[in-house]
Structure formats: structure tokens, C-alpha cells
Chain A
Amino acid sequence: MSTVPTVADRVTDLVRALRTHGVRIGTGESVDAARAVAELGLDNREHLREGLASALLHDQGQRAVFDPVFELYFPRGIGAPGRPGDGFDRDELRERLAEALAANDRAALAGLAAEAVDGLGGYGSTPGSDGYSAHQTLDRLRPQTLLARVMAGSGSAASGAFTDRIAADEVRARIEDFRELVRAEARRRVAERRGTDEIARRMAVRTADRADFLYAGKAQLAELRRAVHPLARKLATRLAARRRRAARGHIDLRRTLRGSLSTGGVPMRPVLRRRRPARPELVLLCDVSGSVAGFANFTMLLVQALHDQFSKVRVFAFVNRIDEVTGLLEHGTADPDGLGARITAEAAITGWHGSSDYGTALGEFVERYEAAVGPRTTVFVLGDARNNQQNPNVPSLRRIARTARRTYWLNPEPTSLWDTGDSAAGVYGDVVPMYECRNARQLSALVGRLLPV
């Protein structure tokens, strides 16, 4: 980079980078952001960050995208304070890190992160192939192994006070913060070398509702679980609005024509179809095997939160045997994190082996629970349709689809992967409509569209 970018450039670049990560920003907001920068000046980075966030963002979920992008475009000073170079002492750094963690000194931690990346994160020697790696830094530094030492050093460990019980968790959270600092620092350094735009584009940050169910990390899944209730409220409003509209009804063609006989076949008075007031019933069949459990759990929680929209909701979980878990969900509202574990522990969902077998599970469902499905039921099957080369047992699915009012299959895999390897997506997709459902955004769109009124 030969020229130093102006503030206006930086703001527009920042906006562009945010847009590529799915944050919708209009021109008006960009202008506000620039005015904010003008008002705040560049002296205080913290103020600048909060000011830009307030002008550009519209909800808190976008902060996860904003913060790392901001780090790239408005970096903390360039380079590290002092260069340890070859004489870098890892143990000495660990010592200081332990002290800073014990004291919970954010400023010192940020400095240490810079030093660590400087001393431990560099790789390659020729220009063009060299860079900095957060992974390598953390691998060599191993901050997580400092837990015991920090606990001992903070002095509270032996005091016998009540707060000792939470001390370990606090230190763990601080270590995680430090790891994040290291990652940001490494990103920033790479950005210095490769050009900010390139890094911003490749950076793997996503708002939680766009995170892939199959690859979402633990933190993202936890965030999604917290999103269940707001999302359910939103969907409930949408469903209620649709129900209101639908109550006004469609034209009943047969009765309109019948009525038009007296006016010589001219339909003077349209007759509206009367609606049956019953609320729909819902049955979920969820694959809860390891690979797709995050998706299934999230969907179960969502449906559970929507339960007052239905007259009856029944949820069945399977890996290769199927069992009803409706009861587990009901008193599981307080502890969504443990839901998966409880299902595994309390329901009979695996038989002789631990891998998914859709054919057997569907067969068993028809055999044991066929009464759950009736002409008012909508059935959702949740799973990746990876059958481990077993018999897909299509007749069972066809039978369910015939009895139910509607049957849909939601598949958390991208469409491009369907029918590859052991996937039976195509076979099942011929029987019931199958939809790609990779993230919370897609799921809420699908649920809003597919749920019966």
C-alpha cells in the first residue's frame, strides 16, 4: 500500500466489507458513519468503534461481524511494541501472561497478544509466502494450560471464600478472551501484508443466523439457542397474520356458481369458503445423530417455542431406532443446552450400532406410531438423508406422506452435496418435497412458508 487511505476511504471500505458479510447498510448510514467519525475524531479508538457501530448497525447480532472487520480497517498502532526477535523467551511470556490473567488486566493482555504473535506466530521466510498464524501462536503458547497457575497466583484459591467456586470459570473466560485477542492480532498483521480488503473478504465471520448448522461451533450453537425465543415470536406473529388473512377466506367456486343460477349465471354474490377453525397438528421426525444434531436440536426447540400455534405437537428422535421425545422437550425449556444429552440418555434411539439408518427408523415409526399422523397433520423430517448404505425403505415414507396432510423434508446439507456418497436425498426427495435448510435464516423462512395455517 503506497498511499495512506483517507478517513472517507476507510469508512467506505469498511461499509463494503460489512456488506459482503451480509450486513445491510444504506448510503444514509454510510454518511452518518462519516459524520460520526468527523465528530469523534480518530484519537480514541474505543469511541470511534462504538460510534461507527451505532451508525452502521441495526441489531446486536451484527456486532460479531462488525468487531473483527473494524479491527482490520482501523488497526491499533502498526507493529508491536519492541521486537524480541530471536531471543524470544516463551516461558517468560507465559509467566507474564499468567500474571496478567490473574490481575484481569485487559490492556496488558492485548500487549501480550501482540508480543506472542510477533514471537511465536511468524512462519515462512521469503516475502510473499511468509505470514502470521494465530493457530501456531496458540499452539506454542498453550494459554489454556495456565489455568491452575493463574488460580494459584490470584491468591483466592486457598481463601475458602464462596467465590472460589466460580473462580475457575472466570479464568477460563479470560483465557478465551486472550485467544480471541491473539486471533485478531494475527489477522491484523496478515492484513498489513496482504491488503485489508483481501483478508476482510476471506474472513470467516458470520452472523449467527447465517452460520451453517453442520459446521457451527459450540458458541454459535449456544447463540442460536438463545435466538430461539425471539425467532419463535417473530414467526408466531407472521403465522397469526397469515391466519387472520386466511380467515377472510377464498372464493368457493362451486357455491358461487350454484348461487349464480338465480341471476342467470352471472355471479352477483361471491360466496366465501368457510374455514374450519381447527389448528394444525405437527409431527417432527428428527435425526439426532452426531453430524446433524445441532440442526435437529435447534429446530425442535423452535417448534417447541411455537407450540401454542398448534393444537398438538409430537416430536420423535431417531438415529437408527425411533422414540418419542415430546415429554423431554416440554420440561427441557429451561435447559436447552442439555437437550441433546438428555435425548441420548433417556430415549431409545440407537439399536445395535451408532450410525443413522433412516430406513429402519421410518419403518419403526410406521409400525409403532402411525396413529400420530392423520389428515390434519403436517410432518417434517429433519436430517441429511445419509443412510450409511442401508435400505432407504421408501415405502414407509410414502405411507407417512399419504396419511399426512403435508410432508416436508428439511436437509441441512447444501444442495450440491445431495446424492453424493451415502446420501439418499434424491430417493426421498422424489416422495416428499425436500428443502435445503442450512442456517437459521433459511429455517425461519421455510417454517414461515411451509407451516400450515
Chain B
Amino acid sequence: MFASVDDVTARLAETGYLASPAVATTVFLAARLGKPLLVEGPAGVGKTELAKAVAAITDARLVRLQCYEGVDESRALYEWNHAKQLLRITAGRDETWDRTRSDIFSEEYLLTRPLLTSIRGTDPKVLLVDEMDKADVEVEGLLLEVLSDFQVTVPELGTITAERRPFVVLTSNASRELSEALRRRCLFLHIDFPDAELERRIVALKVPGLDAVLAESLVRVVGALRAMDLRKAPSVAETVDWARTLLALGADRLDEEVVRQSLGVVLKHQEDVRTAAAKLDLDAV
């Protein structure tokens, strides 16, 4: 899949995902060792984007399981198409019972959900299990079989094993502690806020029109904001938003006035705005 870590970095960069060495190394290893990749980190640092980028560079289909409270087997694995089964039964009234029974539990009536979809077929796939921490603990149990052996057991059909293993990315914001069993099956990657250099390159890539000097001061101010104890530290997405805002405002340098006007783009709580204003010495807000 990849020749080397640098190969991963270069190909991710082509799709517009600038990867830190940590990200590139773990993606490379996950592909080579055939293990799922568990990605944790604050919101808005590009966890989901990573899965999309990997799908893009490997020409794979992205199969996404968005987790939420109450996601269950029928949403994650598979479901029987009951309506179609009933139609089949009514259509074949004069058949023998044996024939009817064996027919309605076949592939034709199976609705595959993300986990099953990702292991069926021979085309390359990236399975993204997004916000794993939002799902209930029981769902982790469903995942374990998929993650360790890349197979799913459907009682009526038997065990379906992947002919071609998908590249699996799980993301989590750590709002719930994931089980040790799940963690053991994965390679672990923590994506943190990028360092100043990388963030500058991201801004340059996403907002090409912005003056380089301005972009640099912008990234420095965001760095300083992250060092403060805020309820929600600004994410990369917000840095980019801010850069776009400054471009739209036509600001040519970052001064008190501009920062005061646009602080709301990066900070999402009134308390945070107040704290930041005090620390940055903006006179009145």
C-alpha cells in the first residue's frame, strides 16, 4: 500500500492533508501490520479528515459508521430486510415451507450496514468508525470481532470473513473511556494541535490568499490562546476560519482592533473571550 513513511507523508500532502511525522508513521504501520488505528485528540484537529485522506490516496471506498448513543447491531452490522422477506413469502404462497424458509434468509434479503459492508467484496475500503466514544459500551463488543479477525458472524449465514482487509480508523474524543480490549486491538495515535510550523503550512494551503506575515502572527496568537486555560481551545478548523475571516476583512496586519472584532471566530464561549481579552490585554470588550 505504501512504500515508506515519507511516501505516506507525500501522498497525504497531495490530497491537502499535511501530516505530522507521528500521523504518517502510524498510518504506515497500520497499513503494514494490518491493524486498526485508534485516533484520539481534541475536536477539530483532523481525525475524521485523516480517514478521508487515506481513502483518497489509496483509491478506496470510505465506509463510515457514525456512532451515537443507542447505535446498535442493526445499525452497525446488518439487518434483515423484513419487508422484502414478507413480500417473498406472500408471492410464493403455494410453495413448500422448506423452500420458503431457506430462501428468505439468503444474501438477497440482507441489508449490510457499515461493518459488514467494509469486509465484503474485494475492492479496497477504508472503514471509519467515527466518535466511538459516543456509542454505548455494548457496541464495542460488536466491533471486537471485526477488529481482531475482520469477520462478522450472521447466525443464519455463518461467518463472513474479509477477502480483503479494510483499513480501519476509529476516532474518539475521549468523552468515555474506551475498553482495554478495544485499545489492545488497535494502534494508538494521539493527534494534538499541530506545531506552529505545520499549522502555518496548513493555513497557507487552505487560505492561499493570506499574506505570509499575517498568517504567522495569526498562528502565534492561536498558539497563545491554546496555552491559556480555556473551556474550548481553538482547533485547526477555527484557525483556518479565522484566516478566512481576516482575508475577508481585508486586514493587512493583526492589531488590537482586528483581534477584538474577530475573536468570536476562534473562541466559542463568552467566558473564554473574556479570559483571552484580559490575557492579551485588549482594553475593552
Which A residues have a C-beta under 8 Å from some C-beta of B? 26, 28-29, 32, 35-36, 39-40, 44, 46-47, 50-51, 53-55, 57-60, 63, 104, 161-163, 165-166, 169-170, 173, 230, 233-234, 237, 334-337
User: Which of A47, A162, A170, A334 touches B254 (beta carbons < 8 Å)?
Assistant: A162
A-B contact pairs, 24 of them (CB 8 A): A32-B35, A39-B32, A44-B5, A47-B21, A54-B26, A55-B29, A55-B187, A59-B40, A59-B174, A59-B183, A63-B190, A161-B217, A161-B253, A161-B254, A162-B254, A165-B281, A166-B223, A169-B224, A169-B227, A230-B177, A233-B175, A237-B176, A334-B229, A335-B229
Q: When the two chains form their complex, are residues B177 and A234 in contact, meaning their CB atoms are under 8 A apart? A: yes
Q: When the two chains form their complex, are residues A162 and B221 in contact, meaning their CB atoms are under 8 A apart? A: yes
Shortest B206–chain A CB gap in Å is: 21
Q: When the two chains form their complex, are residues B217 and A334 in contact, meaning their CB atoms are under 8 A apart? A: no
User: Which of B33, B174, B189, B275 touches A35 (beta carbons < 8 Å)?
Assistant: B33
Nearest neighbor of B254 in chain A, beta-carbon distance:
A162
A104 to B216, CA, bound (A): 14
A173 to B230, CA, bound (A): 18
A47 to B28, CA, bound (A): 10
Let me know if B99 is at the binding interface, CB within 8 A.
no
Q: When the two chains form their complex, are residues A59 and B188 in contact, meaning their CB atoms are under 8 A apart? A: yes
Q: When the two chains form their complex, are residues B254 and A163 in contact, meaning their CB atoms are under 8 A apart? A: yes
Nearest neighbor of A166 in chain B, beta-carbon distance:
B224
User: Which of B26, B175, B180, B281 touches A51 (beta carbons < 8 Å)?
Assistant: B26
A51 to B188, CA, bound (A): 9
**Using Cβ atoms and an 8 Å threshold, which residues of chain A touch B138?**
none
A162 with B259: in contact, given A40-B25, A234-B177 (CB under 8 Å)?
yes
Q: When the two chains form their complex, are residues B256 and A28 in contact, meaning their CB atoms are under 8 A apart? A: no
A165 to B227, CA, bound (A): 14
Nearest neighbor of A160 in chain B, beta-carbon distance:
B255
Nearest neighbor of B281 in chain A, beta-carbon distance:
A165
**Using Cβ atoms and an 8 Å threshold, which residues of chain A touch B258?**
162
Shortest B180–chain A CB gap in Å is: 7
A26 to B183, CA, bound (A): 12
Interface set, chain B 197-249, CB cutoff 8 A to A: 217, 220-221, 223-224, 227, 229-231
Shortest B148–chain A CB gap in Å is: 10
Shortest A232–chain B CB gap in Å is: 11
**Using Cβ atoms and an 8 Å threshold, which residues of chain B touch A63?**
190
A49 to B230, CA, bound (A): 30
Shortest B126–chain A CB gap in Å is: 18
A63 to B188, CA, bound (A): 11
A39 with B28: in contact, given A54-B189, A170-B223 (CB under 8 Å)?
yes
**Using Cβ atoms and an 8 Å threshold, which residues of chain A touch B79?**
none
User: Which of B180, B187, B254 touches A54 (beta carbons < 8 Å)?
Assistant: B187
Let me know if B13 is at the binding interface, CB within 8 A.
no
User: Which of B32, B184, B230, B255 touches A58 (beta carbons < 8 Å)?
Assistant: B184
A225 to B35, CA, bound (A): 34
Shortest A336–chain B CB gap in Å is: 7
Shortest B75–chain A CB gap in Å is: 22
Shortest B221–chain A CB gap in Å is: 6
**Using Cβ atoms and an 8 Å threshold, which residues of chain A touch B227?**
169, 173
A335 to B231, CA, bound (A): 9
Shortest B49–chain A CB gap in Å is: 18
A50 with B254: in contact, given A163-B217, A335-B229 (CB under 8 Å)?
no
Top 7 A-B pairs, shortest CB-CB distance: A166-B224, A50-B25, A50-B22, A60-B190, A58-B183, A54-B26, A54-B187
Nearest neighbor of B224 in chain A, beta-carbon distance:
A166
Q: When the two chains form their complex, are residues B229 and A336 in contact, meaning their CB atoms are under 8 A apart? A: yes
Q: When the two chains form their complex, are residues A162 and B25 in contact, meaning their CB atoms are under 8 A apart? A: no
**Using Cβ atoms and an 8 Å threshold, which residues of chain B touch A51?**
25-26, 28-29
Shortest A15–chain B CB gap in Å is: 14
A113 to B146, CA, bound (A): 47
Let me know if B271 is at the binding interface, CB within 8 A.
yes
Nearest neighbor of B255 in chain A, beta-carbon distance:
A162
**Using Cβ atoms and an 8 Å threshold, which residues of chain B touch A104?**
196
Let me know if B160 is at the binding interface, CB within 8 A.
no
Nearest neighbor of A36 in chain B, beta-carbon distance:
B29
**Using Cβ atoms and an 8 Å threshold, which residues of chain B touch A173?**
227
Q: When the two chains form their complex, are residues A47 and B25 in contact, meaning their CB atoms are under 8 A apart? A: yes
Shortest B261–chain A CB gap in Å is: 13
Shortest A383–chain B CB gap in Å is: 26
**Using Cβ atoms and an 8 Å threshold, which residues of chain A touch B37?**
54
Let me know if B280 is at the binding interface, CB within 8 A.
yes
Shortest A369–chain B CB gap in Å is: 30
Shortest A226–chain B CB gap in Å is: 8
Q: When the two chains form their complex, are residues B224 and A170 in contact, meaning their CB atoms are under 8 A apart? A: yes
**Listed residue (B22, B25, B28, B275) with the most chain A CB atoms within 10 angstroms of its CB:** B25
**Using Cβ atoms and an 8 Å threshold, which residues of chain B touch A233?**
175-176
Q: When the two chains form their complex, are residues B32 and A334 in contact, meaning their CB atoms are under 8 A apart? A: no
**Using Cβ atoms and an 8 Å threshold, which residues of chain A touch B229?**
334-337
Given contacts A50-B22, A161-B255, A334-B229, 13 further A-B contacts (CB under 8 A): A32-B35, A36-B33, A40-B28, A46-B21, A54-B22, A55-B187, A60-B192, A63-B190, A161-B253, A162-B221, A162-B254, A166-B280, A230-B175
